[in-house]
Structure 1
Amino acid sequence: MCVFNYSADCAQGYYRNGSGCQQCRSACKRRECNRDNGKCNACPDEWYGMFCNMPCTPGCGQCDQDTGSCIACADNLIFPECTDCVDGYFGSAPTCSMCSGTCDNNTPCNKTTGHCDECPPGKKGDSCNEECSGGQYGPSRCSLSCGQCEDGHQCHPVTGHCPRCHPGFYPPLCNETCDDTYGQNCSESCGQCKGGQPCNTTTGSCTAGCEPGYTGELCNATCEEGLYGERCNKSCSNCQVNTTCHHQHGQCLFGCAPGFSGNLCDAKRTEQPSTTAFMVGVIVGVLVIVVFAAVLIVVIRRRRSTRKHDSTKGDATEMQSSRVSTINDPSPSSDPAALHGDEKDVHAHMKKYPSWLQQKQSAGDEDSS
């Protein structure tokens, strides 16, 4: 609607158009424009241009009226481009939506899809707001499998630990079977299974049977007294009275009964003097011989000593008699060379006696003179 007023300026909300006034365009903010050329004084948000007829770039909350450059972004967009959502939001300009859930290490969701690229351990789903289940646990949206939890219980969504293991598995993950043990938490030791074979990890029974000397379903009991060997089907042989044999190999623990020998005391033997008795006899005989020899030597020495003493005594008496006769008959020469036969013998015999005997003889001679 035009108002023609040739004598005055156009009223507010109108601009001069040729010879008349024309109403400002509706796109102008508050429909106000320049009265001379009709240019909008201001544009509504997200519009620009002389007549506010051109839209701003999507995402601009407000753009320059002349150039269209963004002055401010719409909510949750990154200035100055105003095309990408800020962290924690996804979508496209001009609208960004808030991410839901919590991604791994608190990283933002994908700004295009809104999904988490990676979930924290124990979580799954696009937004990581679901807990692991179905026997799964761990990182990367529950990529690991639970072990043998008792009664099929779900393991811990983060650590994978079972509340209790199925018998035959080691805690806490319950994914390793028992080794030489069995039962709940592998707390029981296997018995003496044949050939060192492992027992059943659940029940403990030895599927291959027992080692010789052991019996029972678990092979943890020794043979009854008096029995030994595989399945305890052999009887001990002739062991000492009130003793038994070894439960595995059958050897008598305290030796054989009298009259039997061998590893198993199953061989009869002929009684022979014991080695100990024989050795005692030999030793006694040697001692008797040694004592007899010693006594014999003493007797022989005494006899020789007695004979020598008697001979010496007789020779002295004989010499004394000869000496007396020589004194009574001074005619013979005292020179040994001049002595006759008997005198020579006496003189030679005198030389055999010790000096004390000769001195004694000389003293006798002086007394007699």
Structure 2
Amino acid sequence: MERIKITVVLILWVPMRMWFIPRLQVEGIVDKECYDNCNCCENNSCHSQYGWPNVCTEGCIDRHRGARCYGLCTYHCVSCEKDDNVCSRCFEGYFPGPNKDCTSECPTNCKACTSDTNCTACKDGYYDKDWSTTCMYSICPENCECIGSTCATCKNGFYDTDNECNKECPPGFHGLDCSETCSIQCLNRTCGIGNGVCDYGCVDEYSGDKCCLRNGNCIKCASNTECKECKPGYFSYTCKETCPVNCIESCDIISGACSVCKINRFGPLCNFTCSESCKVPPNSKTRRCASFDGTCIFGCEDGFFGTTCNKTCNRLCIDNVCMRESGLCVNGCTDSYDEVECALRKPKVASDSSTSTYIVLAALLALATAVLCILIVWTMVKKMRSTNR
């Protein structure tokens, strides 16, 4: 009986082995990174089967084949189940072709195709129309810069967005209809069609993005002859005027007003000094007052008030301290309360003479009370003695 069982197992095992071994062993190019592991199995899923390890249970990743998925497809195959040269699927841009090896290319704008004249899917940005089958039409026309599928601006050298930028701009011109001339000071006389900025910089001595001024002080031009942004330290449309000495870097191109003043300077032209009555900041690199209007940032020194601490507290203020906004004496006044600044009164302290009077009166009251108590007790004792007799 035992021999029969062994015979049956052998009968079943031999044909299964003959069927399975060819599927485990592959010919052609192999991927050594996948040979002793599950790296090339779909989802890294594999197990042992019929004594063979690492048999893939969910198939292979792209370009791999065989039961253990370490064989490689050739050319542009995504999958090649039976033969490494016979593809069942191709990578984007290729189709099987007459040899089924995915070496045939689709038309340029195709994502997938069945032949070199028939696309089944177009690459992003392209489409078919009017019975075309090669994705020859672009969602964004060739000479346009698009927002979505709308031609927003033209590429350099072209114009007329209403007609897909199909008009070429002649050298030396720019603008929506190419009617404006590039600055004659642009090197090679060429500039950007949309903004007129010189492509290759300026000829000698000129500055600005459109080479508008014959000095080195312009950064951005308002036109071919005027500047709108000067280099730090200069202002005016010709950038010949220098900013006030106490400005930090730039100033307004028209008025020359400073954007920011040096420490402890203020005013449009930074020609005023912060009040000496402003409290000194803890850090010497920090300004005492605001650059725009001179407001003291950290408050006033004792004895002064106001936004710029330029007013003096009333001489009657106790400790010489008053409120910054109103000048009212914080701790009250030392004398008269008729002054406006003395509106904040402190409770009046009793004088020494008054205190002495209160002490004397209290002593007399206590003495009188003691005498009265003695008289009452004496009277009661006297009555009790009379009764006993």
TM-score above 0.5, yes or no:
no
Q: Scaled by the length of structure 1, what TM-score is found?
A: 0.31
Q: Scaled by the length of structure 2, what TM-score is found?
A: 0.29
**Structure with the bigger percentage of strand:** 2
**Structure with the bigger percentage of helix:** 1
* Structure (1 or 2) with the larger CA radius of gyration: 1
